[in-house]
Structure 1
Amino acid sequence: MSLPVFSARAAAERVYIDITQPGFVKLPIAVPDFKMQGSGELALAHRMAEVIGADLDFSGYFKVLDPAGFLESPQQMGVLPSEIRFDTWKAIGAEFLVRGLYEARGASLNVEFRLFDVISQKMLVGKAYEAGVADAVSVAHRIANEIIAALTGEAGIFDTRIAFVQAEGDAKEIYVMDLDGRNPTPITRDGSTALSPAWSPDGTQLAFVSYLEGQPKIFVADVFSGARRALSGYPGINITPAWHPKGGRLAATLSKDGNPDIFLLDAQGSIVQKLLGGWAIEVSPSWSPDGSKLAYVSNETGNPHIYMLDVASGNKRRLTYEGKYNTSPAWSPKGDWIAFSGMAGGTHNIFIIRPDGSDLRALTHGEGSNESPTWSPDGRLIAFSSTREGTSAIWVTGVHGEGTRRLTRLGGAQSQPSWSPRRNR
């Protein structure tokens, strides 16, 4: 784990990118290889710069410049403000420069990085980290987060992960991966069917549905130790868990009374209250960021549509009226949108809609079947599953439908993504 050992930030801070504006111009940034100090692994010089560059490109804020056009050797140029030749970087169109230095001694790693404004010729951020060589990629992700925070005023998301369902033969397992698709790691290895992963608010646990014991039950797994426990195994189905934003409680669909209704469960799986009941089927709860409301799916009008429940009053109302099959609501972290999957033109597409039911927008347009949207913690990106290139894979797009890209390239099929919260520092 990386540990910051010094931190410096320019006194006169300002926001360089207004992330509320969809038409902002991407900032040209140069990320040369880190400079190696002493002896060590020279491969780390390129690896850390590569990860940072990929993160910044992934964010959609930056135009990361091609290193082939750099005029200086990364191993010969300096790293201190007095050593930077700003005119050289300005000449190739860079407005910002990331400069890094590292020293690897055995399993230990010391890393420094500085972010420079090339135009004003000043350092914006400088930090150093002590970590293990094995944590070099994690340090690079943290540096990318620092750059995002310095230029947008909002924390980065590059230390977050995405859970998903991985189909392996007849089995479906829960996996987690880095937000860019790297390092896929299994959480379950049961050879059964596991579905609907849902992150706890602190990012340490995953609730999921498993058919390992026959009927669908809800389990909770510790992401770091792998330890798991059964949470809900009432008679009938126990499906679609959703953690309350303040943690400790979950909403889930149970059919213990004969009809699939949504209940509130405590951390031990005991029922706190029935949130939604009646003759209709209610599934797929999604909490508003403040926990006061719940978006969900109901077929009370015949076809599945998105509804909203005010938890305190019990009042509910229908949100979607277009289309005949709307499912998988996901409330944005800022509470300003609800994403969902809807049938349009004979296939599933990703839509967003305001919580008051206005401003319906399509983010995908019939490129395969697109389902199960999940939001990044900053509310700018949506991951989803799509069959646009054949077998289902996890893709990501911007909230305005821009920059769509594929994340997973594993064997089998990947579906039902769930984006983690930011890690606690």
Structure 2
Amino acid sequence: MGFKKLMAALLLSSVARIGVAEDIAYLGVADGYWEVWLTDTSGEISEQLTEIRADVSRISWYPDGENLLVNLHDGRLYKLNIRTRALKEIKAPMPNILDAVVSPKGDSFTFSLSTSSSIDDNDIYVYHFATKKLDKLTSMPRLQHEPSWSPDGRYVYFLSGDGGQVHDIWRVGVKTRSTEQLTVSSLYHFDLAVRDDGVIAYSGNKSGNYEIWLRQPAGQTEMLTQNPALDARPSWSPGGDQLLFHSTRQGGLNIWVYDIPTKSLQAITKNPEGARHAVWAPLKGRRS
């Protein structure tokens, strides 16, 4: 077998291995742009999936575990197949969409957007792929952003700030449009991730530094990490016992995994140019 064929076979073998393990998609720097990459919990092999040559700002998994919704910094949207690397552009219902996250059923996505000239008055929307219907979920003053779905698709959790030193956690019913404030004047919260049982992982600065926190449905909070570095953007494992997050604890921004039962930490990536915003693939067929 020639060298090129051998390398191709090894690559295919590595991709297959990644597919058997738990897939982790993340944003990594390539040629000066934040592109989409794929790895697994070992972090031994990383594969660059896109060469868009534009900054990707957010990614989220479709429930099939084979496709990603890719939101670019300029508002463009794509559906990315992780096996074929095929990119299918999604016609956005509005320009300048941010924070796009596909729903647990894969039939819609939520996002934040300002329809005025101000960057501080975003609202939360849901767009339905089949009907092309656009629903505005919030009409609150000031900034509503960073939406995140509940695993059952009934709620969209989001952050709301009034321009002061607080960014509180809220949620809105997708069908009812009723809003509920979950924290009150609790400094900055970012990067919400909701587990099946309603436990919220987030990055917060209550301790004076951005750490990973858990919030129980009854309101109790627990700080998981404690390090002078930035810890942010948590993502739950399919089993709900581990969290991915990105951190500067070894200098550059890279991906780590926190095991909740053992309280142990492990670096997943060691990219000198940076890696961030890791999202754990769902278990295939986990949701109806």
Partner of residue 366, structure 1: 227
The structure with more radius of gyration: 1
Q: CA deviation at 1:350?
A: 0.6
Matching of residue 329 in structure 1 with residue 168 in structure 2: no
Distance 1:186 1:387 in 2: 22
Q: CA deviation at 1:136?
A: 8.5
- RMSD of aligned Cα (Å): 2.8
Q: Which runs of 4+ in 1 moved over 6 A?
A: none
Moved more, 217-226 or 375-384: 217-226
**Deviations, residues 77-97 of structure 1 (Å, cap 9, x unaligned):** xxxxxxxxxxxxxxxxxxxxx
Q: 1:409 to 1:256 in 2, by over 3 A?
A: same
Q: CA deviation at 1:236?
A: 4.5
Q: CA deviation at 1:200?
A: 0.5
Partner of residue 3, structure 2: none
What residue identity is the alignment partner of 2:193?
A
Structure 1, unaligned runs of 5 or more: 1-106, 108-131, 143-157
Percent identical among aligned pairs is 23
SS at 2:252's partner residue? Answer: coil
Contact preservation (8 Å) 2:62, 2:105? no
Q: CA deviation at 1:137?
A: 8.9
Partner of residue 13, structure 1: none
Q: CA deviation at 1:311?
A: 2.4
Partner of residue 307, structure 1: 170
Distance 1:275 1:197 in 2: 21
Contact preservation (8 Å) 1:174, 1:186? yes
What residue identity is the alignment partner of 2:82?
V
Distance 1:329 1:137 in 2: 29
Which of residues 59, 76, 80 is equivalent to 1:197? 59
Contact preservation (8 Å) 2:63, 2:285? no
Distance 2:132 2:186 in 1: 37
Distance 1:137 1:229 in 2: 21
**Deviations, residues 241-279 of structure 1 (Å, cap 9, x unaligned):** 222112211111123465422111122693431112233
Which of residues 126, 135, 138 is equivalent to 1:264? 126
Q: Which structure is richer in relative contact order (CA contacts within 8 A, separation 6 or more)?
A: 2
Distance 1:314 1:133 in 2: 47
Matching of residue 287 in structure 1 with residue 146 in structure 2: no
More helix by percentage: 1
Q: CA deviation at 1:407?
A: 0.6
Partner of residue 110, structure 1: none
Moved more, 238-247 or 319-328: 319-328
**Deviations, residues 10-42 of structure 1 (Å, cap 9, x unaligned):** xxxxxxxxxxxxxxxxxxxxxxxxxxxxxxxxx
For normalisation by structure 1, the TM-score amounts to: 0.59
Aligned length: 274
Matching of residue 396 in structure 1 with residue 257 in structure 2: yes
For normalisation by structure 2, the TM-score amounts to: 0.85
Partner of residue 277, structure 2: 416
Matching of residue 224 in structure 1 with residue 83 in structure 2: yes
Contact preservation (8 Å) 2:203, 2:231? yes
What residue identity is the alignment partner of 2:24?
I
Partner of residue 406, structure 1: 267
